[in-house]
């Protein structure tokens, strides 16, 4: 368990001792750690004893120690050891319920035991040559070597096993208590080794709601272009974690303010100069961050990356479509169409899966469809098309559309909310009557072929699509009406 008498555990107060508030934070962190470590100690201590009997060290390290101190340790545990991977495999053979070697080239062996996933990594002293995108892994000789090469002080603490000795050479416990993100050495050295750590700083700010130390922030700005050395996939994974954090707005602001966003998501910082016609007191950038916050408030459960990303990208088409009328009013006609195209290009460049990209792009393209409903112009046909076009995304589209209302005009905000309430009520009524989730033509392909006397082929597809359009426009038809409509269409098309 943590011992505040260990190296680096003293607070950096004015007289070198912790303030009263910081003492309370440290005490709470220690209690959290004891509780969390007791939960996993049957497996962790057992593993530590196996390594000790073989003459090797084993330490719980990094994010696992940080999360234990924060009272949020999960079932994935990170360890470091002086044993090399082949020796680690020998020591856990017959003890682990499963093993995997996907990280072996980086010195990591994975194992499962007692419902826990364990990653055991040989002490590392890896370095980067400043050109390649992946680390050149060299094994270190000691725990202190390993902790020195870690990204941030809050991830540079260790608990030795099985004796629970706490090691904190870089005052990570202090930084955890004061909620600060700082590097063990100079941030220039740390980010020079691995530029992805700059994104990780923003990610931890978003996940933990911690402040980034000014020197770290300055280094992020100075070295932002180094992010170009990192693969799109690694950037994407860090960005997803940032967007899924408790406070992505803090992380996003940090990315924009340091210039990191310009390296992989320039559309975001590009919003800062565009004035939103719906809220002249705010630019589109501030409006967008507000929409993201609103969407998060409507999630009602686990973080929804697709919804959050759609909220972030919903107005990225505005800079390209900005126009100023003769009356001085600003407009962004068809920005949802342009924004959907830009979103698709950006997410493709970041190697997002096709299904995730498609969902976000569709939401961006649909987010303006609702406006105009309050003018009373929507027929039941328009409602059917709205639901059909949204498909499985309809619940997210509801949330995105509501989130997009950021006006401070209370009367206007209330009117928009009432209009959307009315639309949802109308959708529910029509769904109950017609099962909109399964809108299909009133005749299937076999019936079309039989009535028209044609084989399977393009004509059947064209007829099917026509009948679906009729179904959306007029609602369900009975059999006689559907057959009469099909024959009318066939005559107009000159088909048999």
pLDDT at 162: 93
State yes or no: pLDDT of 275 exceeds 70. Answer: no
Q: Are 304 and 311 in contact (CB under 8 A)?
A: no
pLDDT at 381: 79
Percent of the residues in the chain that have a pLDDT greater than 90, as a whole number: 54
> Which of the four pLDDT bands, split at 50, 70 and 90, describes residue 6?
very low
State yes or no: pLDDT of 348 exceeds 70. Answer: yes
pLDDT at 485: 80
Higher pLDDT residue, 106 or 127? 106
The string over 22-48, giving b where at least 16 C-beta atoms fall within 10 Å of a residue's C-beta and e elsewhere, is beebbeebbebbbebbeebbebbbebb
Q: Kindly report the CA angle at 302 between 200 and 118, in degrees rounded to 5? A: 55
Q: Are 150 and 140 in contact (CB under 8 A)?
A: no
Q: How many CA atoms lie within 13 A of 251 on its CB side?
A: 26
pLDDT at 35: 78
> Which of the four pLDDT bands, split at 50, 70 and 90, describes residue 60?
very high
State yes or no: pLDDT of 31 exceeds 70. Answer: yes
Domains of the chain (ranges, CATH numbers): 1-178 (3.30.460.10), 181-264 (1.10.110.30), 297-408 (no CATH), 445-493 (no CATH)
State yes or no: pLDDT of 11 exceeds 60. Answer: no
pLDDT at 130: 58
Question: Taking all residues of the chain, what is their mean pLDDT, rounded to a whole number?
Answer: 86
Higher pLDDT residue, 301 or 82? 82
Question: d(Cα 472, Cα 307) in Å, to the nearest integer?
Answer: 27
pLDDT one-digit tens code per residue, 111-130: 999 999 999 999 987 655 55
DSSP-derived 3-state class of residue 76: strand
Whole-number Cα distances in Å, 31 to 18, 153, 207, 301, 456: 17, 20, 21, 28, 71
Helix count and strand count (H, E) for the chain: 23, 11
State yes or no: pLDDT of 15 exceeds 50. Answer: no
Q: Are 68 and 36 in contact (CB under 8 A)?
A: yes
pLDDT at 108: 95
What is the mean pLDDT of the segment spanning 72-94?
95
State yes or no: pLDDT of 4 exceeds 50. Answer: no
Question: d(Cα 73, Cα 39) in Å, to the nearest integer?
Answer: 9
Question: d(Cα 21, Cα 19) in Å, to the nearest integer?
Answer: 5
Q: Which residues contact 347 (CB under 8 A, 6 or more apart)?
A: 309, 356, 357, 360, 361
Higher pLDDT residue, 434 or 317? 317
What is the mean pLDDT of the segment spanning 432-452?
70
What is the mean pLDDT of the segment spanning 221-241?
96
> What tokens does 170 get?
């870089």
Nearest to residue 216, comparing CAs of 171, 254, 167, 169?
254
pTM: 0.79
What is the mean pLDDT of the segment spanning 76-95?
96
Question: d(Cα 398, Cα 299) in Å, to the nearest integer?
Answer: 11
Q: Which has the minimum average pLDDT: 2-11, 23-32, 93-102, 343-352?
A: 2-11
Higher pLDDT residue, 18 or 268? 268
pLDDT at 191: 94
Strand order in the sheet with 158-160: 98-100, 108-113, 116-122, 76-81, 58-61, 158-160, 166-167
Per-residue DSSP letter, 226: G
Q: Which residues are registered as beta bridge partners of 127?
A: 136
| Main-chain dihedrals φ then ψ at residue 58, nearest 5 degrees | -145, 135
What is the mean pLDDT of the segment spanning 374-399?
84
Q: Are 284 and 413 in contact (CB under 8 A)?
A: no
């Amino acid at each position: 368990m943590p011992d505040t008498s260990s190296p680096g555990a003293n607070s950096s107060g004015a007289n070198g001792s912790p303030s009263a508030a910081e003492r309370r934070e440290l005490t709470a962190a220690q209690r959290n750690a004891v509780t969390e470590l007791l939960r996993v100690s049957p497996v962790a201590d057992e593993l530590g004893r196996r390594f000790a009997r073989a003459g090797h060290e084993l330490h719980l390290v990094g994010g696992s120690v940080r999360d234990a101190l924060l009272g949020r340790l999960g079932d994935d545990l990170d360890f470091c050891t002086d044993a090399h991977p082949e020796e680690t495999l020998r020591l856990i053979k017959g003890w682990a319920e499963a093993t995997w070697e996907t990280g072996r080239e980086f010195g990591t062996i994975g194992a499962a035991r007692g419902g826990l996933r364990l990653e055991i990594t040989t002490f590392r002293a890896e370095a980067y040559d400043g050109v390649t995108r992946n680390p050149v892994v060299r094994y270190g000789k000691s725990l202190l070597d390993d902790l020195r090469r870690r990204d941030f002080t809050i991830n540079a603490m260790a608990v030795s096993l099985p004796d629970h000795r706490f090691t904190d050479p870089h005052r990570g416990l202090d930084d955890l208590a004061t909620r600060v993100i700082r590097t063990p050495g100079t941030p220039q050295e740390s980010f020079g080794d691995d530029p992805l750590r700059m994104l990780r700083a923003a990610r931890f700010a978003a996940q933990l709601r911690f402040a980034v130390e000014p020197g770290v922030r300055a280094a992020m700005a100075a070295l932002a272009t180094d992010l170009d050395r990192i693969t799109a996939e690694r950037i994407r994974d860090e960005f997803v974690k940032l967007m899924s954090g408790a406070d992505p707005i803090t992380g996003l602001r940090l990315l924009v303010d340091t210039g990191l966003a310009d390296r992989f998501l320039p559309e975001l910082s590009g919003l800062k100069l565009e004035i939103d016609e719906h809220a002249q007191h705010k630019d589109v950038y501030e409006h967008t961050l507000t929409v993201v916050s609103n969407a998060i408030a409507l999630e009602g459960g686990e973080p929804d990356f697709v919804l959050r990303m759609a909220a972030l990208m919903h107005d990225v088409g505005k800079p390209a479509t900005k126009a100023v009328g003769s009356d001085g009013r600003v407009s962004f006609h068809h920005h949802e169409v342009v924004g959907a195209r830009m979103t698709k290009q950006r997410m493709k460049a970041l190697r997002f899966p096709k299904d995730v990209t498609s969902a976000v792009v569709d939401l961006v393209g649909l987010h303006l469809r609702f406006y105009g409903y309050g003018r009373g112009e929507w027929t039941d046909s328009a409602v059917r098309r709205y639901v059909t076009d949204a498909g499985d995304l309809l619940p997210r589209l509801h949330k995105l559309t509501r989130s997009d209302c950021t006006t401070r005009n209370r009367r206007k905000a209330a009117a928009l909310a009432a209009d959307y309430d009315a639309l949802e009520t109308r959708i529910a009524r029509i769904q109950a009557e017609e099962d909109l989730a399964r809108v299909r033509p009133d005749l299937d392909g076999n019936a079309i072929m039989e009535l028209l006397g044609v084989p399977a082929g393009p004509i059947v597809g064209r007829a099917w699509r026509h009948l679906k359009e009729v179904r959306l426009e007029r609602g369900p038809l009975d059999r006689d009406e559907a057959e009469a409509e099909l024959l009318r269409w066939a005559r107009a098309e000159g088909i048999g």
